Structure 1
Amino acid sequence: MNEQITLLLGLLLVHFIADFYLQPLTWVHDRNRRHARSLKLVFHTLIHGALSSVILLMWEWHFGLGELLPVVLCSLVIMSTHWLIDVTKSYTNHGIVPFFIDQIAHLCVIVAICIALSEATSLNEWFSALLANQQTYVVLLAYLLVFNPCSVAIRMLLERWQLPQVTSSDASLPQAGHSIGLLERALMLTFILIDELAGVGFVLAAKSIFRFGDLANAQEKHLTEYVMLGTLLSVVFTLAIGLSAKYFITL
């Protein structure tokens, strides 16, 4: 099992190095402009192939049969699929959704190569054990609950208090409050699950510092109370979900 995980981690390491550290922004712009005709994209895929071949050679030498053909074939698969996936992405709107789909597609290729080079049952058993683990579902459910369900519950509880309309000079970024709340609860839940409750205080203190300037004005007392209510509700919900998750994990 260790050798299969070693191969997976090695290929993931070189993938992120090649994609995010060895790919200049000018190469990305050239790919988005020239698509399949981009020479910079060819250079990028060659870098992926070269780095991946190093990991594959090392793995084949230490854990495999020492054959060169599987290394060459897998390197060609990584390069060809990477080129195809990136060309496809170049025709999108380049937003966050195409970005994640692009990365997931690359990771699926890497996992498939790991399964092909190693015993097929090894990684399958690892993934099966992960999916069969009760803790996996508890943690996933906890994170799902602290996102949109908590947002909906907090919004419904605060509906009875309506803030006055703000002027354009006071207007904040669209959906900024919602996004801050999501990140706030995700961080607090993570600290709860790893038994670092002091981190919850750190998140609240950091938020209070950045909001202090907005809430210091005595004329904005209604805004202060509204933000405090929302923050405290967020903390209560996250603590309840996090502590419940920890309880079910220890069962």
Structure 2
Amino acid sequence: MWETFAALLLAHALADFVLQPAGMARGNRRPTILLAHGGVVLATAIAATGSLHPALFALAGAHMATDYAKARFGQGFAGFLADQAVHVLTLAVVAVLAPTIFAEGLWAGEARLSALFVLAAGAILAVRAGGFAIGQLMQPWAEAVTLDGLPGGGRAIGHLERGLIFLMVLGGMAEGIGFLIAAKSVLRFGTVREEAKLSEYVIIGTLASFAWALVAAFGTLALLSHLPPLGIPDFTP
């Protein structure tokens, strides 16, 4: 079951956060775009599991239905969280009802592949999905502050800090996160010390970004504990 869930989780992370352009994400009310995204979801699930199991087609259909519901009724940060929660729940249901999808697929003989899938999915969810989530969370306050800086600089900083936190936790160096917070605070101090709104905006965004990365990293460790160890290094909680 865990091997199947690991493969489906990676497929989902790729389909939603790597292979879905912004225009496709915004156009999920249009049948053609929704079907195209559903095709990507199905293709990644087939590739990750090495299987053509009928449950994967049902999974793609459920994914499209969830995305359509989000496009109509679930905007903003809460809608993003609800959408992703339903997707992950759907993956879990498929893994429970059809636990042998991966074991009967093309990659069944690769014992360590599932752990690599979890690492890759965790990294995507920590960095890329975190970027979308924090962007949605901060959107209501974005118009209240003046953000002077490099175009896309804040997004790049967020990606880097979440990636570093993910690596620190998985590498057993979680104490280094405190130094990362201190370093960012020092570097940002001159920019925000005289502007209360900007200061609060940066603090909220930073804490949310760090929290997201920590949840993704520890969730990855929890999943790895159910799979054969990689051993190089041995990532276990």
TM-score (norm 1): 0.45
Q: Specify which structure has the bigger relative contact order, considering alpha-carbon pairs within 8 angstroms and separated by 6 or more residues.
A: 2
User: Which of these two proteins has the greater Rg computed from alpha carbons?
Assistant: 1
More helix per residue: 1
TM-score (norm 2): 0.47
